Chain A
């Protein structure tokens, strides 16, 4: 009986797991869609520069480009580790 329930639950899951994974990856893809081509490279190099001074993780850096009517704003967020 338990085994049957277990099997049933496992079967139900795969399509909804697929949906959740897709929603995340597609949101990420769309975030990159409107970026200029140099953004990934810029992000990588900025990370390298910061790492020369402070050891930060890959995901501690957040970079985005917002376009307004007459100008673009490059926003750079770096989460630095707390001083000891």
Chain B
């Protein structure tokens, strides 16, 4: 049986797809059979971040409506063994995504895979609720910024009430906080919520902290999940996150302000 993990946030643009791509890739790199599913019907982007946009033939909706088999729609990742991508439909109506259909797809994937990562659309509507409905665990992606934190709290409310686990009174969805775009520099100057502020307000377990990093845009430009760039801070931070998801105890990195030395200040040895 696969573990189903939803990557969600409420607010858009906080790094859900970047995180879903990096975490799914990281899980596969660690030897787990992993599939990552795009639930953002009409605005798919996971294929671009994963670098397989030209290989999309069939999508999740085709499978749900019986127009294609699951194996026809699954795209094998070219760089990473054990990793598949199930893209969202670009043209179809959102309503084509049904709970029954999603359940069948997840059940079939569960037989084959160790992890199913669901990349949720923004918002708290139909698509977002379906992406989280069958989840065992949730990664709540949050920027240290007021609107993102408030929306994350709303999502936590939905996870506690509108999921299958909640409706069946099963053990609740395990919630993880993933803070992205963290800038220790601005935290030090008092202009950004600290790690502890966000943790205190949302009161859930922290699974990772991704620093604001140039590597993220570079990775999406190239369609290579940032976790492949292990020279970068963001790549390492996502790898740490994956380790923690797998139950390892990894110390937190990249949350402290690094004072630049004289030389790097003079020659601009920026963060990679």
- Chain A residues with CB under 8 Å of chain B are 11-16, 18-19, 21-23, 25-26, 29-30, 33
| Complex: chain B residue closest to A8, CB-CB | B190
Residues of B within 8 Å of A30, CB to CB, are 153, 157
C-alpha spacing A12/B191, complex, angstroms: 7
Residues of B within 8 Å of A16, CB to CB, are 190
A51 to chain B, nearest CB (A): 31
Interface membership of B68, Cβ < 8 A: no
Are the C-beta atoms of A18 and B190 separated by less than 8 Å? no
B173 to chain A, nearest CB (A): 15
Contact-size category for B = 10 to 19
Given contacts A29-B157, A33-B157, A33-B160, contact A13 B190 (CB under 8 A): yes
Q: Which applies to chain B's interface (DSSP): helix, strand, loop or mixed? A: helix
Are the C-beta atoms of B150 and A11 separated by less than 8 Å? no
Given contacts A19-B197, A22-B146, A25-B150, contact A11 B157 (CB under 8 A): no
Given contacts A22-B201, A29-B154, A33-B160, contact A15 B146 (CB under 8 A): no
C-alpha spacing A69/B160, complex, angstroms: 20
Are the C-beta atoms of A29 and B150 separated by less than 8 Å? yes
Residues of A within 8 Å of B191, CB to CB, are 11, 14-15
Extra contacts, 6 of them, besides A12-B190, A15-B193, A29-B153 (Cβ < 8 A), are A15-B191, A15-B192, A15-B194, A21-B146, A29-B157, A33-B157
| 12 examples of A-B residue contacts, CB within 8 angstroms | A12-B190, A13-B190, A15-B192, A18-B145, A19-B193, A21-B146, A22-B149, A22-B201, A23-B201, A26-B202, A30-B153, A33-B160
| Complex: chain B residue closest to A23, CB-CB | B201
Report B172-218 residues with CB < 8 Å from chain A CB: 187, 189-194, 197, 201-202
| Complex: chain A residue closest to B203, CB-CB | A26
Are the C-beta atoms of A11 and B190 separated by less than 8 Å? yes
Interface membership of B220, Cβ < 8 A: no
Are the C-beta atoms of A14 and B146 separated by less than 8 Å? no
C-alpha spacing A15/B189, complex, angstroms: 9
Given contacts A11-B190, A14-B190, A15-B191, contact A26 B157 (CB under 8 A): no
B134 to chain A, nearest CB (A): 21
Interface membership of B161, Cβ < 8 A: yes
Residues of B within 8 Å of A14, CB to CB, are 190-191
Residues of A within 8 Å of B161, CB to CB, are 33
Are the C-beta atoms of B197 and A15 separated by less than 8 Å? yes
C-alpha spacing A14/B202, complex, angstroms: 19
Are the C-beta atoms of B201 and A26 separated by less than 8 Å? yes
A24 to chain B, nearest CB (A): 10
